[in-house]
Structure 1
């Protein structure tokens, strides 16, 4: 059996911000009513995090919950624990009308960090990333240039970006170009 590897094997680029692929991340798409007690219990038990509000992420390390839509959460868990967490979630969900699916190998995760991280993402996404509008814990499901992506701001000002694995190379190159030395716009 082959060993799982990340989309870009830890690719990294330096510029006005640091762009790095973070490697394997366990991810479960959980669809259902956020108000359902079974769904909330399954999600919070799997991650140790509270349910996020609209357009919010509650993430610590490899575990967390991200609000994707009114009926969808992205559940983050350590990669090696995905199947166990998924089984425990299914048991906790019981008769709740919900769907939980392992999407870990279909996604790639990047970190954008440094003094100009906000500016790098603002060049690519139609999101107000001003300090007043976008703070730590804020989450957006949007586009980066031509592809679907989601991102949230971590404490300390770095961002985590999630995209489909099939476009990971494209997203890495987009971020790398947006972070080229000398490309500061000076908006933030």
Structure 2
């Protein structure tokens, strides 16, 4: 009898969606309490050049993972996209660890608005960011607004990945539609002058 009740309880528990399952990405631009903070947000500029290159022919149609620091000396997958010919591959100049770099895809029109000119080859070249960003720090209150399940991270909606982008407590939300991990912000951005 006890075995039957335990089995029934397990079966019932499995029939409900798990609370620990990944949250649906949240469109932070639709949350007034967050958007109000951008009205007085500080302006930042990337202090280090970003490396940029065009996709190689053999990369088109292939998966392209983006990795970020996990804050513990390693790295974690942030997003995974498919390479197309209308993007630029952007990269930090220093690896996260060993030969793993923080690299991401940027639509060509966004790239020109941010860096001024497009890369002309499939080899990485440095580009200095010309555009500033408004950024607000992600704290406990913001994580609640973003529907965080663990009090440390949340998933925001982004145009380039249906699964969204993970953002971190102590990191930043940028006004365009992305998050900046704490270590990346510290190492690569400074207040605009």
TM-score by length of 2: 0.29
TM-score by length of 1: 0.30
> Whose radius of gyration is greater, 1 or 2?
2
